[in-house]
Amino acid sequence: MKKLSDLGERKAIHLISNIFMQGEVAVGIGDDCAALEIGKKYLLVSTDMISQKTHILKEMTPFQIGWFIVSINLSDIAAKGGTPLGLVLSFGLPKETSEDFLKKLAKGANICATTFGTYIIGGDMKESSEINICGTAIGIVEKDIFMSRKGAKPEDIIAVTGSLGKAGAGYYSLKSKIHKAKLTKLLFEPKPRIKEGKELAKLKCVTSCMDISDGLSSSLYQLQEVNNTGFEININDIPISTELIELQKERKKLDIHKIAFHFGGDYELLLTLQKNKFKETEESLKKIGGELTAIGKVTKNKKINIYDGKVRKPLENMGYEHFKTHIL
């Protein structure tokens, strides 16, 4: 009998999504959010759970745990171009949890929500053996600007918002003796790209979009699976976070491209868009304080290759997946 450790997270999700009837759902399991039709709009629903064992490093403050659960849920709303309407949070907590811890947890969740224009509207609290927190974000988007994971076409540009390797810089800073709060903040307090997602959707030239929660390589493989295309990534065009580049000056052995490709936790948006619209999209994002970088193109050839200016080689799929052994 197969176990989850044999299947891995994505096969297990595929297995149960075949069991769930999804009759009236506009967009169902497999995209960042589920979408329900409400008149001319889609109601977006995203849910994410974190648990002590897999997500909550001991160095995280309760404020950061609260921020994190809200942030990763809002990131899914951002990836669909949505405006968040609110979040509900379910806390599973050990009974030894202190009042102070709970207050800071709630404060972190609240400040993240209000920073990105929304609210915690409800929740639940239960006793459990270890910390488990589940968030569900509700958002809304006009149907005709909803950004699906599906729709990439050969010759489209592949682009990412912001920079990659921020969370990796935080993680490797934690592992080093000189632990820098500025860097771990990048890992523990990611910023959902709500503003960027809404702007991108408004411009109507994005052909597919998802957030990069499990790393760029894993996200590219997930995007490829639903799009029946391939991707060619120019490794030299990947926007590496300045913090990671700085950290590498002290820790020479860090492979910054490997981290940018395979380390999860950056919560940037990965998208494909019409080639002739890239320039104006980049400028529109700049105007609202965002960043967009072209990192490659969509190909007919169904492989994912990386190109360094000289040779093309296949991209390894080494991003984080639950139940599987973590490589990085």
By CB under 8 A, what part of segment 8-27 binds a copy of itself?
Answer: 9, 12-13, 15-16, 19-25
* Touching a copy of itself, residues 20-59 (CB under 8 A): 20-25, 28-29, 31, 33-34, 36, 38-39, 43, 45-55
Tokens of 203: 């411009």
DSSP for 255-287 reads -HHHHHHH------EEEEE-GGGHHHHHHHHHH
136 makes contact with a copy of itself (CB under 8 A):
yes
Question: Are 73 and 135 spatial neighbours (Cβ–Cβ below 8 Å)?
Answer: yes
Q: In what order do the strands lie in the sheet with 269-273?
A: 206-211, 269-273, 157-161, 292-299, 230-234, 304-307, 312-314
71 makes contact with a copy of itself (CB under 8 A):
no
Q: 84: closest CA among 93, 95, 75?
A: 75
Taking the complex as a whole, the smallest distance from the CB of residue 227 to a copy of itself amounts, in Å, to 20
Q: What does the alpha-carbon distance between residue 272 and residue 293 come to, in Å, rounded to a whole number?
A: 11
**Cβ-based nearer residue to a copy of itself, 1 or 178:** 1
Element (H, E) at 294: strand 292-299
- Site size with a copy of itself, rule: CB under 8 A: 81
Q: Among residues 57, 61, 86, 275, which is the contact residue for a copy of itself, using CB under 8 A?
A: 86
95 makes contact with a copy of itself (CB under 8 A):
yes
* Touching a copy of itself, residues 258-277 (CB under 8 A): none
Rounded to whole angstroms, what are the CA distances from 98 to 112, 198, 276, 293? 22, 38, 55, 44
Q: 7: closest CA among 240, 321, 219, 237?
A: 321
Surface-to-core class of residue 174, CB atoms within 10 Å of its CB (0-12 exposed, 13-18 middle, 19+ buried):
middle
**Cβ-based nearer residue to a copy of itself, 156 or 211:** 211
Tokens of 41: 């709009």
Q: Among residues 57, 61, 102, 151, which is the contact residue for a copy of itself, using CB under 8 A?
A: 102
Taking the complex as a whole, the smallest distance from the CB of residue 162 to a copy of itself amounts, in Å, to 23
**Cβ-based nearer residue to a copy of itself, 194 or 273:** 194
Q: Among residues 40, 126, 175, 252, which is the contact residue for a copy of itself, using CB under 8 A?
A: 126
Q: 166: closest CA among 135, 147, 148, 193?
A: 193
At residue 105's C-alpha, the angle toward residues 104 and 111, to 5°, is 85
**Cβ-based nearer residue to a copy of itself, 46 or 299:** 46
- Which residues does 130 contact at the CB level (< 8 Å), separation at least 6? 51, 52, 53, 92, 94
**Cβ-based nearer residue to a copy of itself, 94 or 154:** 94
Q: Tell me the window of 94-102, 215-223, 252-260, 263-271 that interacts with a copy of itself (CB under 8 A).
A: 94-102
134 makes contact with a copy of itself (CB under 8 A):
yes
Taking the complex as a whole, the smallest distance from the CB of residue 149 to a copy of itself amounts, in Å, to 13
Q: Tell me the window of 121-129, 204-212, 246-254, 274-282 that interacts with a copy of itself (CB under 8 A).
A: 121-129
Q: Among residues 109, 147, 158, 292, which is the contact residue for a copy of itself, using CB under 8 A?
A: 109
* Touching a copy of itself, residues 308-327 (CB under 8 A): 322-323
Single-letter residue type at 157: I
